Amino acid sequence: MRYKHLLFDLDGTITDPKIGITKSVQYALNKFGIREDDLDKLEPFIGPPLKNSFMEIYSFSEDQALQGVEYYREYFRERGMFENELYPEMQNVLKQLRDDGFTLYVATSKPKVFADEILKYFEVDHYFEWVVGSHLDGTLSDKTEIITYILQNRNLVKSEVVMIGDRKHDMIGAKNNGIDSIGAEYGYGSDGELLRENCTYYIKKIEDILGIVY
């Protein structure tokens, strides 16, 4: 085994959450009088902390961004959470990894309360040793902090850990913690985005994870 502990991002890595996330953002923007009919334009919201995205993409003030997150959650709690799909082959890959002795974690900027519900909904929650996500007040949402939290609380040896994700924030979080990373091209980060952050490995298909970690 090249690694013993595998940290998975959730959105864009384990599941394809595009419809639920973009419709939740669309709903929130509409509350501010901003109409966006093209859900493709809202894809940059998939992955990073929501507050940061509202501020960076729509130039919201911090107070506006926090209100935007609350509006987002109104839709997400009721519908958006389940407008989501488990990537094909993900269940098989998770089962093989767990059966072969790897310890699997989820490291997501999504609030843990939502992450737990989504993993349970898709019946993959039992593959993971621990799910770490942000708090509803916005704390513990930075990927570097989340990875640090897992490493320290489980006393993991860094050389035995790899972060798997589809956005630059996953690669940056891994780099800041001194662990290796796998950039998932099949998700919502561009190849340029992942490669610019010097991901240790780069994969095009979910099954490619297996060829790297053993």
Q: Return the active site residues.
A: 9
In this structure, which amino acid lies at residue 35? R
The backbone torsions φ and ψ at residue 8, rounded to the nearest 5 degrees and listed phi first, read -105, 130
What 187-196 contacts at long range (C-beta under 8 Å, 24+ apart), as own/partner pairs, is 187/9, 187/12, 187/13, 187/47, 188/11, 188/12, 188/18, 188/43, 188/46, 188/47, 189/12, 189/47, 189/165, 193/167, 193/168, 194/166, 194/167, 194/168, 196/168
3-state secondary structure of 113: helix
Amino acid (1-letter code) at residue 3: Y
C-alpha dihedral (20, 25, 30, 33), degrees to nearest 10: -170
Distance in Å from the first CA to the final CA of the chain = 4
| Cα–Cα dist 58/77, whole Å | 23
Q: Is 43 exposed, middle or buried (CB count within 10 Å of its CB: 0-12, 13-18, 19+)?
A: middle
